[in-house]
Chain A
Amino acid sequence: MKKLGIAVVAAVMAAGPVMADLVFPSLSYRTGPYAAGGIPFADGYADYFTLLNERDGGIGGVAARVLECETGYNTEKGVECYESTKGEGALVYQPLSTGITYQLIPKATADDIPIHSMGYGRTSAANGTVFSHVFNYPGNYWNGASGAINYLLETNNGDLSGKKIALVYHNSAYGKEPIRTLEELQKKHGYEFLPLAVDHPGQEQKSQWLQIRRERPDFVLMWGWGVMNQVAVQEAANIRYPMENFIGIWWSGSENDVLPAGEAANGYKALTFHGVGSDFPVFADIQKHVVDTGKAAGAGDQIGTVLYNRGLYAAMLAAEAAKKAQSIHGVAEITPAMMRDGMEALEITPALQEELGIPGFGPNFSVSCENHGGPGLVGVTQWDASAKTWSLISDFKPTDTEVIGALIEEDSTAYASENNIALSCQ
């Protein structure tokens, strides 16, 4: 017992601030009802940094260290993870949970550590003048909502008046995000809007789908996550809802969500802001340096899945921002504050994507002090149940920035006045 005590103390001491490496905490969740989404993302995130360490000897000559902490998608554990990792020089937080992001926004800003909530979190954080330390490039939920409506406009000859659009959403901050945008767009395009809430964790959706069966909406959008997605796809199949009229947000469009429904899920669509599949040069490097050397994270069976790719992409953007920060400040061992500057100066060009081994994988964009949200280009993918693959059916296209910009302005200024935040970038 005493030995154990000494060992614990020693471990705590050893875990103190050692500035010899670049720390990228991964607030992952490999347990609980959202694990199906959390595992591939965490694997992709960890594998990319392993690749950088193995192939390039780290970032700018400094080794990257991924500090994994299990949150179970639970905000209390998220807070514990944040506090336990921030002392180790954590450069950027990517909690992969809208709830935890909301929690961390004020804390991390006060601690001068940036947050990158890629395609989730607080949408109005795109306004960099209010949210100095929060980034949500390359796209946010309101881009997603508008992208879905744009896609429907496109496939319906530019007219949605008289159509009925239902939204099946996770009854949480995450799921409620698109409602305002869809309501604004409703005024513009004249469709009928029907929001249907599904409570955490989303295993019980009989009544919502009964309502869909009764109301017969022309299209169903979904903001779901974890086990809720598979249940929704299965329920849609059960009521024989036409899958091609059912569109999920990018968090409702992975293999885990459609495989349980089998053939019935064929034709289900999902939005995306990055490429699908493993047909990119970077995957050959991962196979060679990570998988073959036995250093793959987790079970190593997720490579090339949608969410693995997203984790990989998140890690890539973080690593590029770190490189940017190193070049701006001229030091290899950057601090979180320098990392923030790097993220704000991040620029993704076709040449850079080529160099990283992901040509055409994501949109080209540049972040600025005012705009932390990127361009918000949204593509659409479709599931092929027989080939078991997602394929991109609509290229990355711009969204209704006029409507979204006004909403972001309104929400972020409200936040600024509530919390007495002085606007930056002026």
Chain B
Amino acid sequence: MFYREAGDFSTTYPQDSQTFPIRFDRYRYYAVLAVAVVIMPFVMNDYLVNAIFLPFLIYAIAAIGLNILTGYCGQVSLGTGGFMAVGAYACYKLMTAFPDINIFFHVLLAGGITAAVGTAFGLPSLRIKGFYLAVATLAAQFFLVWLFNKVAWFYNYSASGQINAPERTVFGVAVTGPNTEAWATYLFCLVFTVLLALIARNLTRGSIGREWMAIRDMDIAAEIIGVNPLRAKLTAFAVSSFFVGISGALFFAVYLGAVEVGEVFNIQKSFIVLFMIIIGGLGSIFGSFAGAAFLVVLPVVLKLVGVDLLGWPTDIVAHFNLVVVGLLIIVFLIAEPHGLAQLWRVAKEKLRLWPFPH
């Protein structure tokens, strides 16, 4: 009834090929964006921003990045944590070396540096596939964490090996450091998330995205029809790492403010981002958002209900959280391998036919 293309005519090619061809869908998207940009900054407080929105936005970028590599191009990666660390340390070195340049460019450059590192670690993907590639990226994870712990240059020779984000401003408003306002950090991350999601969406709909998907579906067939596997795989690694690097930079500079590589960017981080795209949906931008929201919000909700409402001991709730996440992953893998995104797709199909399904 609401959600259908009837009466919605495209008269030009750009209209026909837009991201949301159905009018209702398009308005819903604009509405979400308007709420996020216009209304949310006014209701933001320290708790909301630090417990929910910053991690959600930043993990969403990381999940989109991994989804490009794993969901669209079919290359399994367990090195996400390591690549996030590259982004964080690159951002830190840039922030301290060039304090006069705007933090916005530092974050972008950190993404660029991560893209270069990611491409280098993507080279083995030209020879090996599947589990073996997963092991190669796992090596990247451990190597990068070891490197940032071992070489003191990366943390400016500080005694503790920690990196701390100094205060940096955008248009005179602090976005890193201790004296930030909740709305400023939120908007700063939101800008990155929206821009990167737009880029990812359009990349995956264009020729490069089709190359990635061709490689994912059957690499030999793709090569026969003229897809260059070297180009496709390495661009997937580069774009994916760019996204992951930016998320790492934001994670360090805006969200945490102080980072210790072995604790923050360890293998757990790689897994949690992987879980996000599995639960959210492989090969879907919406799925990346859904998965990130799910895994960020779920522990907070469980804690609110378990500890604050029911008064359970904190350790029981923490263990319960692990059980629930594990259970959900199993359930999703069995019942809905395409994740939350597929549920959303099915819901939309149903809406299209409703209320006359025949």
Contact of B50 (CB < 8 Å), options: A79, A110, A180: A79
Contact between chains at A11 and B308 (CB < 8 Å):
yes
Contact between chains at A172 and B257 (CB < 8 Å):
no
Question: Min CB distance, A117 to chain B, in Å?
Answer: 13
Question: Min CB distance, A181 to chain B, in Å?
Answer: 9
A406 at interface by CB-CB < 8 Å: no
Q: Which of B74-82, B159-167, B191-199 contacts A (4 or more CB under 8 A)?
A: B159-167
Within the assembled complex, what's the spacing in Å between the Cα atoms of A106 and B180? 11
Contact between chains at B178 and A102 (CB < 8 Å):
no
B300 CB contacts on chain A under 8 angstroms: 80
Interface centre among A4, A11, A110, A420 (most CB of B within 10 A): A11
Contact between chains at A171 and B256 (CB < 8 Å):
no
A172-B260, A419-B167 known; A4-B51 Cβ under 8 A: no
B162 CB contacts on chain A under 8 angstroms: 99, 102, 173
- Complex: chain B residue closest to A109, CB-CB: B178
Question: Min CB distance, A200 to chain B, in Å?
Answer: 5
B177 CB contacts on chain A under 8 angstroms: 106, 419
B298 at interface by CB-CB < 8 Å: no
- Interface size band for A: 35 or more
Contact of A30 (CB < 8 Å), options: B166, B258, B308, B318: B318
Contact between chains at B263 and A200 (CB < 8 Å):
yes
A79-B256, A84-B47 known; A172-B319 Cβ under 8 A: no
Question: Min CB distance, B345 to chain A, in Å?
Answer: 24
A352 CB contacts on chain B under 8 angstroms: none
A8-B309, A30-B314, A200-B262 known; A173-B161 Cβ under 8 A: yes
- Interface size band for B: 35 or more
A69 CB contacts on chain B under 8 angstroms: 307, 314
A28 at interface by CB-CB < 8 Å: yes
Interface centre among A8, A31, A180, A298 (most CB of B within 10 A): A31
Contact between chains at B159 and A180 (CB < 8 Å):
yes
What 16 additional pairs, Cβ within 8 angstroms, besides A75-B260, A80-B51, A83-B46? A4-B305, A8-B305, A30-B314, A35-B315, A68-B314, A70-B314, A75-B258, A75-B263, A76-B264, A83-B47, A102-B258, A109-B178, A180-B159, A200-B262, A200-B263, A298-B313
Using a CB–CB distance below 8 Å, which chain B residues touch chain A?
Answer: 46-47, 50-51, 55, 149, 159-162, 164, 166-167, 177-179, 255-260, 262-264, 266, 300-301, 303-305, 307-309, 313-315, 317-319
Using a CB–CB distance below 8 Å, which chain A residues touch chain B?
Answer: 4, 7-8, 11-12, 15, 28, 30-31, 35, 68-70, 72, 74-76, 79-80, 83-84, 86-87, 98-99, 102-103, 106-107, 109-110, 122, 171-173, 176-177, 179-180, 197, 199-200, 298, 411, 418-420
